Amino acid sequence: MCRYRNPGFIATKLESVTPHGHGILLSEIDSGKRKWSAEIVDKIYQSPLGGECRQDCAYNWPEDEMTRHARAEIVNVQWAPQVVRGIAESIRTYGTPFGERNGWAKAHGGSSAGKGAEVLFLSGDAAEHLQPGILNAVSGLLDLFGVRWAAMENESPSGATLFDLGFVEEARRAASRLADQISRRKPTTIVTTCPHTLRALREFFPQWGVELPRGIDLLHTSEFFLRLLKEQAAGSFADPGVDRIAYHDCAELGRKLGVFQPPREIVSRITGKAPIEFHRCREKSGSSGAGSSMFLTHPQLSVRIAQKTLEGIPEPGAELLVTGCPTCKTTFQRALEATQSATGVIDVSELLAGALMPQTRTRSSKGGKSQ
């Protein structure tokens, strides 16, 4: 059943955070045997919604969808926990969950800011606060490749975070605002470093009836930069300086969107060999613990989940872990710092930027923000 790969169970051994446990609790509420309580609600929010359980489920049970629906009900009956309401309020007010607006785009608007850029870069609602180094790496690469690109000041959130937390209508409204912003800019391509934003654009927007202009390419940074590497001569790659590099498949990017190969190919092109694979990878990849804002709602659990996933790197381990998601990178950094590991964590864009522009190279700091 679902205990085996459920990230919450792996980290805590608690039944109540598994889909099985959620099902039991929700059945009791549905039958009237129990009422909503802070305790039960907290259990429902202890899931990164990565859909990992489904990979080994004989019936492909959509456990993440079940939990998401439960959260919508929790919000509806006004039982959402304080921390969750706080995140929603912050997104409402500032466009990010962190109690402050993004300001990066104002200073780094892009080579064609306001001048009909072909490529619109979306940073998502977490990268600037948690991993500004990734944004700097991306902008450097876009300029290096001569892309006519722009970022948006006051980029609206995609709604994905709100949707995960149960604020369904607010998610739709946020998505509509982002779609309007995009429509006004008329890009041919949207590139984002945030897999959650990408999933919203590709999957949730159509579900919510939010339309984007036709024909826009929606790409993760790894997909876009791989395309550029294939189309252009980018110069030689500087040696990354480490031998054992592993790649982690983010749930949103990999399992949900099927983007497995581009980040791997970037690593291979730089290092001359394929990255080290976790014992469970691709569709079966373990959780980073960051999903569904758990790095904010349940930070300790989030780190514990990341630590358990890191145990899936084959011996003798990795010197560097490459990810494709700013929040995954954050939780892995925190997990590695907690164990005083020497392994570094880096986003695939940062790895590429460091290989093509060694003067700008960043090595992952442990726990805090990257440079």
Partner 1 sequence: MAKTEFLEKYLLYELEDIVGEENIVIDRAEMDAQSLDVWWVTRFLLSKETEIPKPLAIVFPRSTQEVVRLVKFANEHRIPLIPRGGGAGDVGGALPINGGIVVDMMKMDKIVALNERSLTVRVQPGIIQNDLEEYLNRKGYTTNHLPASIMTSAVGGFIGTNGTGVLSSRYGKMTDLVHQITVVLPTGRVFESLPVSRHSTGPDYSRLFFGAEGTFGIVTEAVCKIFPLPETRSFATFLLPGLSEGIEAGRRIMVTGLNPSVMRLYDEKDTNHILKDQFGLKESGSVLLIGFDGYRKIVKAQEEVAYGILESRAGRNLGEQTARAWWEDRYKSYYPPNDYIYYPWMMAVMDTVAPYEDIERIYAEMKMAVEEGFKEHQAEFHAHFSHWYDWGTSFYPSFLLKSYPEDEAEALRLYTRIVTACARAAIHHGGVLNEHHGIGLRLGSMMKEIYGDGYELAQTIKRSLDPCNIMNPGKLGLGD
Pick the closer one to partner 1 by CB: 15 or 203.
Answer: 15
Shortest Cβ distance from residue 148 to partner 1 (Å)? Answer: 48
Q: What does the DSSP assignment read for 73-95?
A: HHHHTT---HHHHHHHHHHHHHS
Pick the closer one to partner 1 by CB: 273 or 279.
Answer: 279
Q: How far apart are CA 80 and CA 303, in angstroms?
A: 22
Shortest Cβ distance from residue 28 to partner 1 (Å)? Answer: 6
Our separate counts of H helices and E strands in the chain read: 18, 8
Pick the closer one to partner 1 by CB: 166 or 344.
Answer: 166
User: Rounded to the nearest 5°, which phi and psi values hold at 192?
Assistant: -140, 150
Shortest Cβ distance from residue 2 to partner 1 (Å)? Answer: 8
Shortest Cβ distance from residue 65 to partner 1 (Å)? Answer: 15
Shortest Cβ distance from residue 27 to partner 1 (Å)? Answer: 6
Q: What does the DSSP assignment read for 118-150?
A: SEEEE-TTTHHHH-HHHHHHHHHHHHHTT--EE
The β-bridge relationship of strands 276-277 and 245-247 is: parallel
Pick the closer one to partner 1 by CB: 1 or 342.
Answer: 1
Pick the closer one to partner 1 by CB: 56 or 169.
Answer: 56
Shortest Cβ distance from residue 31 to partner 1 (Å)? Answer: 4
Buried/exposed code over 135-158 (b: 16+ C-beta within 10 A; e: otherwise): bbbbbbbbebbebebbbbbebbbb
Which residues of this chain interact with partner 1, rule CB under 8 A? 1-5, 13-16, 18, 20-21, 24-25, 27-28, 31, 33-34, 37, 39-40, 42-43, 56-59, 279
Pick the closer one to partner 1 by CB: 32 or 272.
Answer: 32
Helix, strand, coil % in the chain, rounded to nearest 5? 50, 10, 40
Shortest Cβ distance from residue 36 to partner 1 (Å)? Answer: 11
Type of residue found at 23: G
Pick the closer one to partner 1 by CB: 21 or 51.
Answer: 21
Pick the closer one to partner 1 by CB: 147 or 281.
Answer: 281
User: Rounded to the nearest 5°, which phi and psi values hold at 41?
Assistant: -60, -40
Name 47's Cβ contacts closer than 8 Å, sequence gap at least 6: 7, 8, 17, 19, 22, 64, 67, 291, 292, 294
Shortest Cβ distance from residue 97 to partner 1 (Å)? Answer: 26
Which has the closest alpha carbon to 95: 40, 153, 55, 54?
153
